[in-house]
Structure 1
């Protein structure tokens, strides 16, 4: 899991345009490599759990950020593009994103806690 996360971060680094974001991605990638190479097994497991929980909570949080941005008048989001394509209001798509991300977080939490 840690190696897959390093590969995903390397792919993310290819499309990043923000210097601070690149620094964060590089530092997290370095910590993953160090943990995978030198940390004992129990530390690797806890690190993998930590990353999984962070990813589970980031989905619903991203939907909240999208909703707040739309309330302030931002346009051009995925919800706006889907609204143009399907003629359903963008709020419908934001709510659909929220429902799906909360469902995924719940299912993931059940799997992690079982």
Structure 2
């Protein structure tokens, strides 16, 4: 639906400018302006549909939800970064360059053990 609105605005603005002025430059500018307007309308349609799908009755509730989710994501990312820093420090204390190197070495050892058992 949003793409249809965008195309309709672009084509409509372009055809209107061309039929009115016959100037290529003004037609290009009208197409760009039509694309901008179509994008704004498409975004509003998208947000309204998203609001209904999530069961919110207003855009304010949707914005609050988005803000809360962004805050939660940021909190989780910082907690994960702290955990990775802790694991990297532990791996470096054991002589590895990083936790990734340590986990790769452990995985390779498990694969070798499985291969030995299979033989």
Which TM-score applies when normalising by structure 1? 0.30
Q: If you compute each CA radius of gyration, which structure gives the higher value, 1 or 2?
A: 2
Which TM-score applies when normalising by structure 2? 0.29
